[in-house]
Amino acid sequence: MVFVGIACILNIVLDFILVKYFYLGVAGTALATVISQTVSMVIAVIYLKKKDFLFDFQLSSFRPVGSIAKKLALIGIPISFQELMIRISFLYLMLVMNNCGVFAAAVVGVSSKYDVFAMLTGTSMANALAAITAQNIGAGRPERARKSLWYGLGFAVFAASLFWFWAQLSPESMISLFINDPNVIAAGVPFFRSCSYDYILVTFVFCLNGYLNGRQKTVWTMLSSSVGALFLRIPMVGLFGKYFGNDLGMLGKIAPAVSGIMACYTLAYVLFESRFCSLRSQEEKKQK
């Protein structure tokens, strides 16, 4: 989480410098992202080497091992595919928003900056939950894995709710930190107020998916995210764009609506899967 936080802070600082003072525009934003991610990676590698990490990061060590590669592919490919579907759906959302005009595009650009921070705890907690869940399942302690999920979920939602409160109470101050244009601020207020609900709802989805990934249910998370992207987000973007046009308040409701639906059916699956595992464990104990 520390390294991700460093990357986010550096990204925002470089965005200010490269866009506002060097006038690089979109190219400056892209450059800021590349530099911040590179710095984060280098710091992480240095930290791991000092902590005697099991991988030495030597060039000779970068060679494939068939059995390990197969396991990684079975778990990693579904996760990669779900990220691909999510990015495609958000690209379509950006396309629709850009067609709404310059002010709408600027609002979405500012909003994306806050998305990184508001969802940072959720994404970090999801990664932590995946590791903690896998460790506890491997140790035969599924109840500890479930406890970790609820504690982690509570902490992540609390952190995300702080940004939600800010967006509800003073969205103008959020926008003005990046853009002082009164037209952009006026257009962004309804969008920020409606879209900010996604900070909380998507945190639920991240944490639940992290828990499921730790249980090696990556096919489910892939299907869940693909359904959310292809059958929920993209159609809703098309419908809202067609019938609500330039109403940014309505367009801002797309993301929380999709995340809310995904959170409901993912939570239902987690509860069902947990109940099924508990019943199976009780049956195994009776047989012994």
Q: What are 3-43's pLDDT values in tens digits?
A: 888 888 899 899 889 888 888 888 888 899 999 999 999 99
Looking at residue 81, its pLDDT comes to 80
Check: CB of residue 204 under 8 Å from CB of residue 267: yes
User: What digits encode the pLDDT tens for the residues 54-112?
Assistant: 788 888 788 888 888 888 787 778 878 877 877 787 777 777 777 777 888 888 888 88
- Name the pLDDT band for 284 (thresholds 50, 70, 90): low
Residue 121's pLDDT band (cuts 50, 70, 90): confident
More confident residue, 165 or 241: 165
In the predicted model, what is the mean pLDDT of the chain? 86
Under DSSP, the state recorded for 60 is G
> Is the separation of the CB atoms in 114 and 195 below 8 Å?
no
pLDDT for 199 beyond 80:
yes
Q: Rounded mean pLDDT of 164-170? A: 95
In this predicted model, which residue has the larger pLDDT, 1 or 224? 224
For position 281, what pLDDT does the model report?
64
Confidence of residue 285 (pLDDT cuts 50, 70, 90): low
Output 191 or 85, whichever has higher pLDDT.
191
Mean pLDDT of 234-259: 85
Q: What is the pLDDT of residue 141?
A: 86
Give me the DSSP letters along 223-287: HHHHIIIIIIIHHHHHHHHHHTTT-HHHHTTHHHHHHHHHHHHHHHHHHHHHHHHHHHHHHHHHH
Q: Which residue in the block uniquely carries the two structure tokens 């989480």? A: 1
The pLDDT value given to residue 259 = 92
Share of the chain above pLDDT 90, in %: 31
Q: Considering the chain, what percentage of its residues have pLDDT values greater than 70?
A: 95
Q: What is the mean pLDDT of residues 186-197?
A: 92
CB 40 within 8 A of CB 30: no
- Residue 277, pLDDT above cutoff 80: no
| pTM for this entry | 0.75
Residue 288 pLDDT greater than 80, yes or no? no
Residues 164, 143: Cα–Cα separation, whole Å: 31
